[in-house]
Amino acid sequence: MDFYTRINHHYDHLFPVKKQAVELIESLTEGNGPIIDLAAGTGNEVIALASKNYRTIGLDLNEEMIKTAKEKSKSVAEKAEFYVKDIRRLNDLNITNASSIYCIGNSIVHLSSQAEISQVLEDSYHSLESGGSLMIQTVNFDWVKNQHITSLPALNNPDHDVVFERHYIHHESSITFKGILHSGTEKNEIETMLLPITSIDWETMIRKSSFQNFSIYSDFKKASFSPNSPALILIITKN
């Protein structure tokens, strides 16, 4: 059983709906095509958008999380679809009119190479309608690398007696993420490689893609990007 399957029942206690992300996605969505979440987890943002009458599609690799998302979304089932699917298989949906696509929660840097991320950019471009936007959120690896950040603040939900520690182990061209989940006397750990993609890396990949228009921010409220901010938000628009 993998880590995310083991912590599925704690997921919403640690990662509630990101309301500011939902508001930003709404502001980017102008067409009538679907909104696609590339790493939906248990579906919080998808369900929030569906409850506002947007047609939404959530993808995630983890079967248990998608099962949970489907159970949670019954009241908006006509607007919310969920599929167990790899982010690298977006083209399987055969969608070319998405109003917006998003990937939040540092998910995209779990891919194994910049080439794979570049392919996700290209697949997203071809899935979007003209004028549609791709929004990506990651940890700001300019900040992580320049200041040699070795841990992020633990996520803590005392009402449910759950704490999630987040640590970074630096290597020459990658970072190992070590997560430790404490729930009562139970302890679960994960170690996985992350690609420390910097703002310059993103700019290079985007300029080599079919996309041309993009902006980088420090948060979902579109604050100006700073190398010292903990987060990086990309908004990439199809001409």
Q: What is the pLDDT at residue 4?
A: 82
The mean pLDDT value for 169-197 works out to: 95
3-state helix, strand, coil in the chain (%, to 5): 35, 35, 30
The mean pLDDT value for 188-197 works out to: 95
Cβ-Cβ contacts under 8 Å for 171 (sequence gap 6 or more): none
Q: Does domain 3-139+198-237 have CATH number 3.40.50.150?
A: yes
Q: Round to whole Å and give the CA distance between 179 and 158.
A: 18
Q: What is the pLDDT at residue 8?
A: 87
User: Which residue is it, tokens 């040699």?
Assistant: 148
The mean pLDDT value for 30-43 works out to: 95
Give the sign of the dihedral formed by CA 202, CA 14, CA 148, CA 231.
Answer: positive
Q: What is the pLDDT at residue 152?
A: 97
Q: Do the beta carbons of residue 133 and residue 222 sit within 8 Å?
A: no
Cβ-Cβ contacts under 8 Å for 154 (sequence gap 6 or more): 163, 164, 165, 166
Q: Do the beta carbons of residue 227 and residue 140 sit within 8 Å?
A: yes
**pLDDT of residue 2 exceeding 80:** no
Domain edges within the chain = 3-139+198-237, 143-194
Q: What is the pLDDT at residue 168?
A: 98
Cβ-Cβ contacts under 8 Å for 101 (sequence gap 6 or more): 35, 36, 37, 38, 90, 124, 127, 128, 132, 133, 134, 135
Following DSSP, what letter does each residue of 72-130 receive, concatenated? Answer: HTGGGTTTEEEEE--GGGGGGG--S-EEEEEE-TT-GGGSS-HHHHHHHHHHHHHHEEE
| Amino acid in the structure at residue 8 | N
- pLDDT band for 1, please (50, 70, 90 cuts): low
**pLDDT tens-digit profile of 131-144?**
999 999 999 999 99
**pLDDT tens-digit profile of 55-101?**
999 999 999 999 999 999 999 999 999 999 999 999 999 999 999 99
**pLDDT tens-digit profile of 148-177?**
999 999 999 999 999 999 999 999 999 999
User: Which residue is it, tokens 């599609």?
Assistant: 57
Q: Round to whole Å and give the CA distance between 239 and 223.
A: 23
